[in-house]
Amino acid sequence: MTNATDTTDTTDSTDTTDSTDTSGASTAPNGMQLPDPRPLFTIAADLASSVIADVHADQLDQRTPCDAFSVYGLLDHMWMAITRIGVIGTGGDAFGPASELPSGLDFDDLKQALNERLEIAKSVWSDPELLAPMFELPWATMPGIAVLTMYVSEITVHTWDLAMALGQAVEFDDSVAAAALGLMSMALPADGRDAMQAPFHDAVAVAAGAPLIDQLVAWNGRNPLAPV
């Protein structure tokens, strides 16, 4: 049941953060400071783009660590997530037909369209005025700084899924993984997720001092050491 929907859909109905200061940092109810996620989103989006570019048509049926999806299913899911964060920033209906993958796209067109959606989302969220306002989503109301950080996690975790499925050696930015892990560890309990009907397996234990990307994907229910 891992990641059948956006990873962001697991946040509870309370506000994720309660204040934003002029430096672009936000204070969460637990006292956690969220860094400005805009440069982190750019890093995550650019890495996703580079991994997507190396996908080949004969790999689309391969399994991924996100056990609900093949490579093609994961690309379809990433289209939805990438489209949604762009539309959220414009105030549009992020959960309407716009987030559905158009039918009839061939493989090369799909990769190009994914990259175009990443560029749109980066452009939309480059506006610092989006960080403080509250956004009403189906599962929570939260400021833009928290919304974008959740999608930093979403894109980073699925980029890892894709890279592992394809056997790509990818270097993940620690600042991106740390920000994503900080927010998601506040939003998700380590266990009991089935009872919550959360689209994740329970967190997987990793060694102390494990790479931050391993900690992030493990918190999102993957075993970073398991073969695909």
Domain parsing of the chain, residue ranges: 7-11+34-219
pTM score, whole prediction: 0.84
Output the CA–CA distances (angstroms, integers) from residue 59 to 78, 116, 153, in the order listed. 16, 22, 24
Judged against a pLDDT cut of 60, whether residue 40 lies above it is answered with: yes
DSSP string, 128-145: GGGSSSEEE-SS-EEEHH
> Six-digit token pair at 206?
């990793």
pLDDT value of position 192: 59
Between 189 and 4, residue with greater pLDDT: 189
- By CB atoms closer than 10 A (0-12, 13-18, 19+), residue 16 is buried
Judged against a pLDDT cut of 90, whether residue 168 lies above it is answered with: yes
Output the CA–CA distances (angstroms, integers) from residue 20 to 101, 116, 175, in the order listed. 34, 30, 20
pLDDT tens digits along 97-111: 666 777 777 888 889
Q: Give the whole-angstrom CA distance, residue 17 versus residue 32.
A: 9
Pick the CATH number of 7-11+34-219 from 3.20.190.10, 1.20.120.450, 1.10.268.10, 3.40.640.10: 1.20.120.450
Judged against a pLDDT cut of 50, whether residue 92 lies above it is answered with: yes
Per-residue pLDDT, averaged over 135-139, amounts to 81
pLDDT value of position 94: 80
Report yes or no: 55 and 74 within 8 Å, Cβ to Cβ.
Answer: no
Report yes or no: 88 and 133 within 8 Å, Cβ to Cβ.
Answer: no
pLDDT tens digits along 50-61: 999 999 999 999
Between 124 and 228, residue with greater pLDDT: 124
Report yes or no: 44 and 159 within 8 Å, Cβ to Cβ.
Answer: yes
Taking the chain, what is the end-to-end CA distance rounded to the nearest angstrom? 16
Q: What is the mean pLDDT of the chain?
A: 83
pLDDT value of position 32: 59
77: alpha, beta or left, given left = phi > 0 and alpha = psi -120 to 50?
alpha
Q: Give the whole-angstrom CA distance, residue 182 versus residue 184.
A: 6
Judged against a pLDDT cut of 50, whether residue 95 lies above it is answered with: yes
Sole residue written with tokens 């560029």 = 119
The pLDDT confidence band at residue 195, using thresholds 50, 70 and 90, is low
Judged against a pLDDT cut of 60, whether residue 206 lies above it is answered with: yes
* Strand boundaries in 94-171, DSSP class E: 134-136, 141-143
HSE (side-chain half, CA atoms, 13 Å) at 142: 29
pLDDT more than 70, % of the chain = 79
pLDDT value of position 199: 60
Sole residue written with tokens 């490579």 = 71
Which pairs count as long-range contacts for 101-105, CB under 8 Å and 24+ apart, including other chains?
101/76
pLDDT value of position 7: 42
- Other beta carbons within 10 Å of 215: 22
pLDDT value of position 131: 96
pLDDT more than 90, % of the chain = 57
Per-residue pLDDT, averaged over 145-167, amounts to 96
